Amino acid sequence: MAQEIERKFLVIGDAWRAQAVRRARMSQGYIASADRASVRVRITGDVAHLNIKVGGLEAVRQEFEYPIPIADAEALLAAAQGPLIEKTRHFVPHEGFEWEVDEFHGANEGLVVAELELDSEHQQFPRPAWIGAEVTHLPRYYNVNLVARPYAVWDAEERGE
């Protein structure tokens, strides 16, 4: 069983862009979702995966990921619930850690969230100057919820304006 320990943060400014070492365009959709689990398919370039997350919308949960053929992924995306999540993931190293900065497109245009995977729930890590408020505890920032309620329909309070 794989365990994912991931923290989410808002991003301040664009300084992180110059530090990105690679980028990947992603399309993903949800085949099924419930309070404590989700099943997602993602295409990144010419690679596709089926992903199952169990444990709800929190920093620590179980994650299972399996490679699948692109043709299968395309068929599953066509059957996905709601609109697809479209984003560019930027990989940004900082003091021995690799941050994943997701820049959303489509109905979630304007949302930029940084994620950091950790080895333990209480692991300490250095925060780059471009990291803002932590949003790990806010369900609206999870991709599975961005399908049902995209950033485009958030009010000023939800956006933190």
Residue 134 belongs to a domain with what CATH number?
2.40.320.10
Point out which residues pair with 101 in neighbouring strands. Answer: 90, 114
Q: What domain range is 150 assigned to?
A: 3-159
Largest distance between two CA atoms of the chain: 42
2-59: pLDDT as tens digits:
888 899 999 999 999 999 999 999 999 999 888 788 899 999 999 999 999 887 656 6
Pick the catalytic residue: 30, 141, 142, 151? 30
Concerning whether 142 is annotated as a catalytic residue, the answer is no
| pLDDT over threshold 90, residue 82 | no
Total of domains in the chain: 1
**Are 30 and 38 in contact, with CB atoms under 8 Å apart?**
yes
Q: How confident is the model at residue 105 (pLDDT cuts 50, 70, 90)?
A: very high
